[in-house]
Structure 1
Amino acid sequence: MSGEDRISALHDDLLLKILSEIPTKDVVTTMVLSKRWRFVWTKVHKLEYKDTRKEGNSRVWWLIEKSLQLHKATVLESLHIQVEHQFCDDADVGKCVSYAVDHNVRELALIIPPQPMILLLPSNVYTSKTLVKLTLSCRTLFIDVPSLPCLPSLQRLALLNVVYKDENSHVRLLSNCPALRHLEVQRNKSDNVTSFIVKVPSLKSFRYTQHKRASGRSLVLDSPGLRRLTLIDPHGDLDSIQNMPHLDWAHVFLIIPYPKDDKFLRSFSSVKVLRLSLRNVECCSTIKFSRLMKVTLHLCCFDDFMCSLEPLLLFLHNSPILKVLEINYDVALCSNGVPLSWNRPSSVPVCLLSHLEIFVWKEFAGRRQERAFVAYILANSKRLKTAVFSPTYNLYEKEKEKMMELLKSMYRASASSQLLRLLN
């Protein structure tokens, strides 16, 4: 029969599974469908409240508080609150969070914009036995960690632009998360911490971001179990990073002309896949990357010094099993073009003779020194399968075509290799 309501005949467990996959505001509206649906929504195990409008009213918080008052599930799997606009003074965020923790929540996310008042988390958050994933994002959220926090089940933690009570608040928090495997930290200029210390033996991945300049800031990282690491801090002090013998993947974004020494980058010597953004690769040309198989080098050259291509060869000499080499020589940032230095080396890196399979150069300008470097790579890479070039954007199409014809005419040690152009 076409008008038959077959969904209402389903078992509650199946209905709850269906409802847990849609936003809570839509879940609540199901109560008007029929008497059968009136109270089903109150038993869902996943609650998601999202309002991404920049301007709005307090209705979303009214919905959150009312739905939690009527909620009847003994266990709450997840609570996700994401609001883009400021809310009214009577919205009790702490009460909502406390309710979730009291109902054994496993995943909790609080993503809200800065508010007129300082927000505090309820104390039971720091002693939850069930929390597995915790995401906190708010510039006026005050992290006041008690002297004896305990989060034995927490595996994923994201602290995004929050404010800390003192230098040791985050240290107390991290040291009492024995199962923590994934940590993300995004800092703002008012987070009250000078030296951000991360010493977590169980940690497997860590993402650290600080975009805005903040003098005197530093990161202390000593987590020997790390497998993946992302560091985005153009101006900070990252010298106190050590003890990463099992690192597999790393992305490092720095804008510093010449580090005082190579101590910082030496900590990455065990990495297998490396994405490195620097002004010059010279600072890591003396480091032995014995496990490195893929590297992406984004080299930002400015007018204040000469860019040299020789350190690239030294880098290759110290990466004996490298299979993939990607270069982005960003000289487009310069007004007059940066002078390049290149002299043909006396010996060939081992990786070119026996391992390199893919060679990519983005923003290729085709200057004489660059062409000489490419000719050297193609002439000595015996196992090369693919070479890909993306001409710099400020060349005319005819110039790009002429450049590609020149590259294709170069001798290649690997007769089976392909030479391709990336469209840009």
Structure 2
Amino acid sequence: MFSFSTTLETLILKYSVLVDVPSPVCMKSLRTLHLDSVDFKDSKSIRNLISGCPNLEDLFIYQCYRKDVVLTFTIVAPFLKRLVITDYFVGSEKGGYVITALSLKYLTLKGVSHYGCCLIENAPMLVEAIIRKVSYIANENIEGSLTSVKRPLLDLSPLEFPTDSIFYQLVHLKMYTRKEEWWNLLTLMFNSSPKLQFLKLTDEKRKFRKHGLVGGKWNEPKNVPECLVSHLKMFVWTRYRWEREEEKEVATYILKNARQLKNASFSTRPID
């Protein structure tokens, strides 16, 4: 059982702390909450803790080990601006996250697996979203809530993000080029982002990989996407792999069809 102060502005709970909140708390002053590998008695304790922080602006959740209790994080926070979820929980039961945050501007999801779900019910003010290292998450629940995002960073394969949504506000896209068939996800994003102005492709691995990922070919768009015809102005590709045929095809296609392009930059490792 935990007793909380009503004057706290920042609360950090770490490691073997057991959080047992059988009834709603009242922490009106709390603005920042860190939950780092803590133990919750049940999902009700999570709900009571977060709902008792009506003015919460920054929430960081980190889960990294198997727990006996299946937890659903219900996050209802009307003034929440930043939400970071890093979840490497290993388990065979379903749990996950249900998020309602009307003021949310910055979202990071990392490591959330297919054993859980992530439902973002309403985030109309989302500006930046980082989606990395997820594994077959219920993406239809995520992509619908990202339609207002302006600057996403995606580290996914097309199988992990089979989007059919239209991102009308998206102007700045950063994608990692290390997942299988990432180039086909790029095609999906071209077709779904009519106002895209800035594109950055990168592979942040320190060691330069001589051989590319196996499997799949790039599916060139049947028609030139609107963003290439009318809006794309800057294209940056770092750690470009000149020996990978699909990457050469992607680069050639963009340079050929981006009619408003003003700046293009490629950087790679030297040839051995």
1:260 Cα deviation after fit:
6.6
Structure 2 unaligned segments of length 5 or more: list them: none
Q: Which residue of 2 aligns with 1:36?
A: none
Q: Matched residues in 1 for 2:139 and 2:19: separation?
A: 35
1:380 Cα deviation after fit:
2.0
1:158 Cα deviation after fit:
1.0
Q: Matched residues in 2 for 1:268 and 1:148: separation?
A: 30
Corresponding position: 1:309 with 2:183: yes
Q: Matched residues in 2 for 1:209 and 1:183: separation?
A: 11
Distance of aligned partners of 1:193 and 1:169 in 2 relative to their CA distance in 1, 3 Å threshold: farther
Q: More deviation in 235-244 or 278-287?
A: 278-287
1:147 Cα deviation after fit:
2.1
Aligned residue runs from structure 1 range 20-169, under 5 A: 121=2, 123=3, 126=4, 128-137=5-14, 139-169=15-45
Distance of aligned partners of 1:291 and 1:163 in 2 relative to their CA distance in 1, 3 Å threshold: same
Q: Matched residues in 2 for 1:169 and 1:310: separation?
A: 42
What is the aligned-residue RMSD (CA, Å)? Answer: 2.8
Q: Matched residues in 1 for 2:144 and 2:61: separation?
A: 23
Corresponding position: 1:253 with 2:132: yes
Q: Matched residues in 1 for 2:212 and 2:171: separation?
A: 35
Q: Matched residues in 2 for 1:151 and 1:162: separation?
A: 19
Q: How many residues align?
A: 266
1:173 aligned partner, one-letter code: L
Structure 1 unaligned segments of length 5 or more: list them: 1-119, 400-424
Q: Which residue of 2 aligns with 1:172?
A: 48
Q: Matched residues in 2 for 1:390 and 1:297: separation?
A: 15
Q: Which residue of 2 aligns with 1:14?
A: none
1:153 Cα deviation after fit:
1.2
Q: Which residue of 1 aligns with 2:57?
A: 181
Q: Matched residues in 2 for 1:263 and 1:279: separation?
A: 17
Q: Which structure has greater helix proportion?
A: 1
Q: Which residue of 1 aligns with 2:80?
A: 203
Q: Which residue of 2 aligns with 1:341?
A: 217
Corresponding position: 1:221 with 2:94: no
Q: Which residue of 2 aligns with 1:379?
A: 256
Contact 2:86/2:112 (8 A) holds in 1: no
SS in 2 for 1:387: strand
Q: Matched residues in 1 for 2:129 and 2:237: separation?
A: 20
SS in 1 for 2:252: helix
Corresponding position: 1:265 with 2:143: yes
Contact 2:71/2:96 (8 A) holds in 1: yes
Q: Which residue of 2 aligns with 1:69?
A: none
Q: Which residue of 2 aligns with 1:283?
A: 161
Q: Matched residues in 1 for 2:156 and 2:76: separation?
A: 26
Q: Which residue of 2 aligns with 1:241?
A: 120
Q: Matched residues in 1 for 2:68 and 2:25: separation?
A: 20
Q: Matched residues in 2 for 1:267 and 1:144: separation?
A: 31
Residue 324 of structure 1: which of 194, 198, 207 is its match? 198
Q: Matched residues in 2 for 1:152 and 1:233: separation?
A: 31
1:145 aligned partner, one-letter code: V
Q: Which residue of 2 aligns with 1:68?
A: none
Cα deviation, 1:91-129, whole Å, max 9, x if unaligned, reads xxxxxxxxxxxxxxxxxxxxxxxxxxxxx75x2xx2x23
SS in 1 for 2:256: helix
Relative to the length of structure 1, the TM-score reads 0.56
Contact 1:340/1:369 (8 A) holds in 2: no
2:122 aligned partner, one-letter code: N
Relative to the length of structure 2, the TM-score reads 0.85
Q: Matched residues in 2 for 1:219 and 1:300: separation?
A: 27
Distance of aligned partners of 1:301 and 1:330 in 2 relative to their CA distance in 1, 3 Å threshold: farther
Distance of aligned partners of 1:274 and 1:343 in 2 relative to their CA distance in 1, 3 Å threshold: closer
Distance of aligned partners of 1:345 and 1:184 in 2 relative to their CA distance in 1, 3 Å threshold: closer
Q: Matched residues in 2 for 1:319 and 1:177: separation?
A: 36
Q: Matched residues in 2 for 1:233 and 1:185: separation?
A: 12
1:150 Cα deviation after fit:
0.8
In our comparison, the structure showing a higher alpha carbon Rg is 1
1:343 Cα deviation after fit:
5.0
Q: Which residue of 1 aligns with 2:238?
A: 362
Contact 1:167/1:194 (8 A) holds in 2: yes
Q: Matched residues in 2 for 1:191 and 1:207: separation?
A: 23
Aligned residue runs from structure 1 range 385-424, under 5 A: 385-391=262-268, 397-398=270-271
1:224 Cα deviation after fit:
2.2
Contact 1:285/1:312 (8 A) holds in 2: no
SS in 1 for 2:173: strand
Does 1 or 2 have the higher relative contact order (CA < 8 Å, sep 6+)? 2
1:223 aligned partner, one-letter code: A
Q: Which residue of 2 aligns with 1:352?
A: 228
Contact 2:178/2:213 (8 A) holds in 1: no
Q: Matched residues in 2 for 1:383 and 1:260: separation?
A: 36
